[in-house]
Chain A
Amino acid sequence: MKMTVGGRAVSYVLAYLFALIALYPIVLMISSSLKTNMEIFASPLSLPKTFSLDTYKKLWEAVPFADFLWNSVFVSGMSVMLITVFSAMAAFYLSRFSFKWTGGLYFFFIIGLMIPIKLGIVPLFLLMKNLGLMNSLWSLILIYTASGIPISVFILTGFFRTLPIELEEAARIDGCSHFQVFWRVLLPLIRPALATVIIINFIHAWNDFFFPLIFIQEETLKTIPVGMMVLFGEYETDWSLLFAGLTLSALPMIVVFLMASRQFMEGLTAGAVK
């Protein structure tokens, strides 16, 4: 398909214009964090005149950011790991075995896509209390794992179905058990889909502020978003500090994404909609 020169020019302008719109608020956030409060008020749109990390130093002293960071990493990392392993196992089963109940089971998982889990917060609270998980990061890990399973099963089942069955048959002839087939043969093949599942769930667990708000009261057990919310209350007029907090809270996510982005794009474009 050939495009005219004019058509090409228009496509480039549009494509890069939207990239600018997508990135502008993020650039604003980072550049404002390097400004002083006076600069933010006087010229909110311009780039910072001097480069200074003073605000970050102040932020580091104002809140136990290292604790928040570790908690977020632990909770998100652990949830993503559990989701990935459990969902892959379920998806393998759903795509490879067809018993009477597999259709129903698949549907049962998919229902979870349509339920806003916040609706069940009071029973969930009771459950966590009875399990002795109040004020424990494990309450969050279990919730994120549970609520991440539907979409992950959905994506991974779709992907497994695209894999040719011959591979497994060959492996089985070599004497591999179901589990070995799953672990040694199939998992490496679905790496792109796994990247998708990992990123989607990582984003969700990293950014959620509702559940930590309810389940975590200990200051040193808070995750980044909730820690930031407290910061907003205490320093509501110190804008450069807030921007620094916002930047720090988003940065780890951005780094992880950039690292995994190639696999992720491949995964989404190869398996999600089949």
Chain B
Amino acid sequence: MFPLPALVIYTLFVVYPIFSAFLYSLYDWNGIKRGVFVGLQNFITLFTVEPFNEMFWNAFRHNVFYFVVEMIVQNGIAFGLAFLIYRKIRGSGFLKIAYFMPRLLSVIVIGFLWKLILHPNYGALNTFLGKIGLEEWARPWLGDPDTALLAIILINCWFGIGFAMLIFLAGLQSIPEDLIEAARLDGATGWRMLWKMILPLCMPAITIMTIFTFIQAFEAFELVYAMQGSMGEPFYSTDTLAVYFYRMAFSSGAGDVTLGLGSALAVVLFFIVGSVSALSLYLMRKREVQH
């Protein structure tokens, strides 16, 4: 009886709609009108016909880049900050709240604020660079294809650091004191201690955060959409798989809706995210059992 309410609501409003949407991928669609059953044709088109395949791999590469940068920057910094707080720092209560603050804002707010900060002509960042004599570094961050994606990802890191920091802090605090004490008596210090002792013992937290980051990176949509539109502008340089899906499933008003291909992409996306995260969860479980 206990799991029933959760099960019913979840099945009805998450699982059922998603799987019906998956069925759409097996039909031919003329705009938003369903045509005949075509089997796997939409999947074949998605991977073999230009420009669909080019767009897929372009967006896929961006998702991978998203993941890599978030792992290094967001999770790297978050771990560093968690470590500082773990080592007792004055004002840690305030710091934890401050780091988490960005997470409270809606994407609409975040998009608007950062667009303003990064504005090429009167944004705070370029103004600041000008004041410290680095004018030549100033650029139209969101209009330049070389920096736009990175800028978006870094904003996402800014958004996510607080949460990641708390997860890592939880990992650090769950390490038994006596283990560390014992290692110290053995003469382990500084980096060696961090590398050989602390990191391995934090593996559960790190694995969880890696999975979260992976899911987030491969479903990246809202920030790109709010700041660069459904075309992943400029020049498709910020396109991601989810934005590409949105474009095909809903279009921006230009009449390029193709729901069959959009649904096929959704299925592919689900399998990418599902298989990778299921595999890492499984590996984590297995390792835990061995411990």
Surface stretch bound by A, among B47-55, B58-66, B109-117, B138-146: B109-117
Is A87 located at the chain interface by the 8 A CB criterion?
yes
Chain A 150-179 interface mask (CB, 8 Å, partner B; 1/0): 100100000000000000000000000010
Query: Nearest chain-B residue to A210 (Cβ)?
Result: B222
State in angstroms the CA–CA spacing of A124 and B205 once bound together.
34
Is B245 located at the chain interface by the 8 A CB criterion?
yes
* Residue pair A25, B102 in contact (C-beta under 8 Å): yes
State in angstroms the CA–CA spacing of A21 and B124 once bound together.
12
* Residue pair A22, B98 in contact (C-beta under 8 Å): yes
Shortest distance between the CB of A214 and any CB in chain B (Å)? 10
Chain A 1-44 interface mask (CB, 8 Å, partner B; 1/0): 10100000001101110110111011011000000000001001
* Residue pair B98, A268 in contact (C-beta under 8 Å): no
Task: Give the size range of B's interface with the partner.
Answer: 35 or more
Q: Which chain B residues in 102-142 approach chain A with CB under 8 Å? A: 102-110, 112-114, 116-117, 122, 124, 127
Surface stretch bound by B, among A51-59, A60-68, A140-148: A140-148
* Residue pair A265, B166 in contact (C-beta under 8 Å): yes
Query: Nearest chain-A residue to B214 (Cβ)?
Result: A114
Q: Beyond A44-B122, A86-B5, A94-B3, is A273–B102 a contact (Cβ under 8 Å)?
A: no
Chain B 19-51 interface mask (CB, 8 Å, partner A; 1/0): 111001000000000000000000000000000
Report B-chain residues with C-beta under 8 Å of the C-beta of A3. 87
Shortest distance between the CB of B285 and any CB in chain A (Å)? 11
* Residue pair A246, B2 in contact (C-beta under 8 Å): no
Query: Nearest chain-A residue to B122 (Cβ)?
Result: A44
Q: Which of A26, A116, A150 is B10 in contact with, Cβ under 8 Å? A: A150
* Residue pair B101, A119 in contact (C-beta under 8 Å): no
State in angstroms the CA–CA spacing of A115 and B80 once bound together.
31
Report A-chain residues with C-beta under 8 Å of the C-beta of B208. 272-273
Q: Beyond A109-B10, A123-B17, is A19–B95 a contact (Cβ under 8 Å)?
A: yes
Shortest distance between the CB of B182 and any CB in chain A (Å)? 14
Q: Beyond A45-B124, A115-B18, A119-B270, is A124–B99 a contact (Cβ under 8 Å)?
A: no
* Residue pair B124, A14 in contact (C-beta under 8 Å): no
Shortest distance between the CB of A206 and any CB in chain B (Å)? 7
State in angstroms the CA–CA spacing of A274 and B90 once bound together.
27
Shortest distance between the CB of A198 and any CB in chain B (Å)? 13
Report B-chain residues with C-beta under 8 Å of the C-beta of A29. 109, 113
Q: Which of B104, B107, B161, B167 is A18 in contact with, Cβ under 8 Å? A: B161
Shortest distance between the CB of B72 and any CB in chain A (Å)? 16
Is B185 located at the chain interface by the 8 A CB criterion?
no
Report A-chain residues with C-beta under 8 Å of the C-beta of B101. 22-23, 26, 254
Shortest distance between the CB of A195 and any CB in chain B (Å)? 12
- How many A-B residue contacts, CB cutoff 8 Å? 226
Q: Which chain A residues in 172-188 approach chain B with CB under 8 Å? A: 178, 182
State in angstroms the CA–CA spacing of A64 and B199 once bound together.
52
Shortest distance between the CB of B252 and any CB in chain A (Å)? 14
Q: Beyond A116-B221, A250-B105, is A261–B97 a contact (Cβ under 8 Å)?
A: yes
* Residue pair B102, A269 in contact (C-beta under 8 Å): no
* Residue pair B84, A120 in contact (C-beta under 8 Å): no
Q: Which of B13, B103, B113, B127 has the most C-beta atoms of chain A within 10 angstroms of its own C-beta?
A: B13
Query: Nearest chain-B residue to A28 (Cβ)?
Result: B113
Report B-chain residues with C-beta under 8 Å of the C-beta of A90. 2-3, 5-7
Q: Which of B104, B215, B281 is A250 in contact with, Cβ under 8 Å? A: B104
Q: Beyond A19-B95, A22-B101, is A273–B204 a contact (Cβ under 8 Å)?
A: yes
State in angstroms the CA–CA spacing of A1 and B190 once bound together.
8
Report A-chain residues with C-beta under 8 Å of the C-beta of B80. 14
Shortest distance between the CB of A167 and any CB in chain B (Å)? 18
Is A110 located at the chain interface by the 8 A CB criterion?
yes
Q: Which of A28, A115, A271 is B14 in contact with, Cβ under 8 Å? A: A115
State in angstroms the CA–CA spacing of A15 and B77 once bound together.
10
7 new A-B contacts, CB < 8 A, other than A22-B162, A90-B7, A229-B108, are A3-B87, A14-B80, A15-B89, A45-B124, A119-B21, A122-B17, A146-B10
Which 6 A-B residue pairings sit nearest by Cβ, starting from the closest? A120-B17, A207-B106, A146-B13, A93-B2, A123-B20, A90-B3
Binding site for A on B (CB under 8 A): 2-3, 5-7, 9-10, 12-21, 24, 77, 80-81, 84-85, 87, 89-91, 94-110, 112-114, 116-117, 122, 124, 127, 158, 161-162, 166-167, 169-171, 173-174, 184, 193, 204-205, 208, 215, 219, 221-222, 242, 245-246, 249, 259, 263, 266, 269-270, 273-274, 277-278, 281
Binding site for B on A (CB under 8 A): 1, 3, 11-12, 14-16, 18-19, 21-23, 25-26, 28-29, 41, 44-45, 82, 85-87, 89-90, 92-94, 105, 109-124, 127, 142-143, 145-147, 149-150, 153, 178, 182, 203, 206-210, 225, 228-229, 232, 242, 246, 249-250, 253-254, 257-258, 261, 265, 268-274
